[in-house]
């Protein structure tokens, strides 16, 4: 499925800046659309862009933070400790988050990645 990036998306081994069009699996595209990180691409879109803007999130959920982690660039958005930088997550989510929230989301993200890669845990 082709989507339009609303934030910087990392897919297919490279970063895609907004408003890039990105080809993703249907499952991944739907997940990003549900989080407000992308929108479905349609050649003729009668809805004005202002009507599609996601509401600003002042308090992102852990799931929002987990999804944002997958959009980060490991080469520049992670610290020496191997964890995502709080600043990078805040920029993506346009909200303040704590290191504790980041740590909880990072644990969830790592478990999800282990499950996707053969259930190794």
Q: 23-46, pLDDT tens digit by residue?
A: 888 888 888 888 888 888 776 545
Q: Do 63 and 121 belong to one domain? A: yes
CA distances from 1 to 11, 21, 22, 26, 33 (A): 13, 10, 8, 5, 11
- When divided into structural domains, the chain yields a total of 2
pLDDT of 53 > 70? The answer is no
pTM: 0.52
Burial of 98 (0-12, 13-18, 19+ CB in 10 A): exposed
The pLDDT of residue 76 is 92
> What residue numbers bound the domain in which 47 lies?
1-54
Q: Do 40 and 2 belong to one domain? A: yes
Give yes or no for a contact between 11 and 22, defined as CB atoms under 8 angstroms apart.
yes
């Amino acid at each position: 499925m082709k989507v339009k990036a609303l934030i910087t998306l990392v897919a297919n081994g490279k970063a895609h800046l907004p408003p890039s069009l990105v080809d993703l699996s249907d499952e991944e595209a739907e997940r990003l659309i549900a989080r407000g990180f992308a929108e479905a691409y349609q050649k003729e879109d009668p809805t004005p862009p202002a009507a599609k803007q996601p509401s600003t999130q002042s308090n992102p959920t852990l799931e929002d933070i987990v999804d944002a982690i997958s959009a980060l660039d490991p080469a520049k958005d992670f610290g020496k400790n191997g964890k995502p930088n709080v600043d990078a997550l805040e920029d993506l989510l346009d909200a303040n988050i704590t290191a504790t929230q980041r740590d909880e989301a990072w644990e969830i993200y790592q478990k999800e990645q282990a499950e996707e890669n053969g259930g190794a845990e």
